[in-house]
Amino acid sequence: MSICPVCNGLREVYVLCPDCGQPMLENGREMDFYDDYSPYMEIDLMKMEDGHPDTNSGHKCPHLFRCPSCFKEETIFIKE
């Protein structure tokens, strides 16, 4: 089993806003936001809900970052 180091507090990810260069703030796992964000995630999530997680592809943990300055949102995939 692999564990996302960011979720477990083992590592911090430092992301700079591509638009204005400010350090972006982590807003948590994208899973918590997927109702109104990133339709392309729904396929993976539905797979998990069906009890058939995709075990072939490398697990990546999506983390949502938001720029405090311009409110740009970026999803960073953390390799687990």
**What residues line the site for Zn ion (CB under 5 A)?**
4, 6-7, 17, 19-20, 61, 67, 69-70, 72
- Closest CB 55 distance from Zn ion, rounded Å: 18
- Closest CB 21 distance from Zn ion, rounded Å: 7
Q: What is the full DSSP assignment across 29-53? A: EGGGGGGGS-GGGHHHHHHHHTT--
Q: Is the dihedral of CA 42, 46, 48, 52 positive or negative?
A: negative
- Closest CB 49 distance from Zn ion, rounded Å: 18
* Residue 62 CB coordination number (10 Å): 19
Residue 40 or 71 having the CB closest to Zn ion: 71
